Amino acid sequence: MNNSITIFKKELKSYFTSPVAYIIMVVFLIITGWFFTSGLFVGGIVTMRSVFDIIPFILLFFIPAISMRTFSEEKKSGTIELLLTKPLSDFDIVLGKFLSTLTLATLTLLPTLVYVISLKFLGPLDLGPIISAYLGLILMSGIYIGVGIFASSLTENQVVAFIISFLIIFILFMLNKILMFLPSPLVSTLEYISSDYHFGSISRGVIDTKDIIYYFSGIIILLLLTKTSLESRKW
């Protein structure tokens, strides 16, 4: 675990030594801020619903953008070989990179709490669904980051990694929106695989065990797939 923390610190620091992380975070806040103010001042809606509705769409692009470099950059520069020869297990490396990217995503969400504080001053606010929605967004980010670092472990080209992760994440997100066009025997299975289906449940304030199991099991599977991808370089 100490090795994972070392990788975590190194990776998190690297995000903030380049302007890319700052640019992505600013763009994220501009978009969410626009939807929040539009709902509040134009629609007169004292709720976070418009923000929570748009963030999952933003994550489709945001997560691949911040995770595409995790392994692709190391492969292209040749530092991946040096990293793999250090006294670190492959899973230590994968977990450290995952946690640093998840921390960046969480830090990007934090400033949106200003919207919650603003609404609190404007009238009564049910904090239960808001807290659970933030939990859902972090869990959704987690499974998307798992996809992103797995895609990044497959190629040294960051653009290719972005495209692969975006396509997989897009499919996971859209599954529950095409159920009406699918044969009924497939509906329940594909609905369960859909990331947006589980987020929808959590964002309503209903934290079900099946939703938590979905996200955690998905993250673990993706981390193990990434570990296997790294190990394949030694074969």
What does the pLDDT read at residue 170?
A: 95
What is the pLDDT, as a whole number, of residue 42? 58
What pLDDT is stored for residue 124 in this prediction?
Answer: 73
Per run of 10 residues, the mean pLDDT along the chain (length 235 residues) is 81 85 88 81 67 92 92 80 73 92 94 87 80 95 97 93 96 83 75 88 87 95 94 66
CA distance 138 to 219: 12
Within its chain, how far is the Cα of 37 from the centroid? 24
DSSP for 91-130, written as a single string? HHHHHHHHHHHHHHHHHHHGGGHHHHHHHHHHS---HHHH
Average pLDDT for the chain: 86
pLDDT of residue 117: 87
